[in-house]
Amino acid sequence: AGFVAVFFEAGFVTVFFEAGLVAVFFGAGFVTVFFEAGFVTVFFEAGLVAVFFEAGLVAVFFEAGLVAVTFLEEAFLAISIIFV
């Protein structure tokens, strides 16, 4: 009633659900999450965070005090905020 595959190997974790693909990877602080109903990718590595949404691209990066936020709407409106 819902395929689930979980793999554990050296801190590496992958989870798949039939009703909605969910892949989570844990390795050296690296995390990736995929959702079928709305693509979401989250990266945690050396303070770096990247979040992507299908309904509107949102990228947030935290690294050495750098913050970049980008929004992509249907009108291709791009807003970038950078703090150095």
Domain that holds residue 77: 4-83
User: d(Cα 56, Cα 36) in Å, to the nearest integer?
Assistant: 15
Q: Which two tokens stand for residue 48?
A: 């770096």
For the chain, how many structural domains are there in total?
1
Report CA-CA distances (Å) from 47 to 23, 64, 69: 21, 8, 15
Nearest to 18 by CA among 34, 2, 38, 40: 2
Report whether pLDDT(19) > 50: no
pLDDT digits (tens, 9 = 90+) for 53-73: 444 444 444 444 444 444 444
Q: Residue 42 — very low, low, confident or very high, per pLDDT cuts 50/70/90?
A: low
* Residues of the chain above pLDDT 70, percent: 0
Report whether pLDDT(33) > 50: yes
Report whether pLDDT(47) > 50: no
Residues facing 83 on adjacent strands: 67
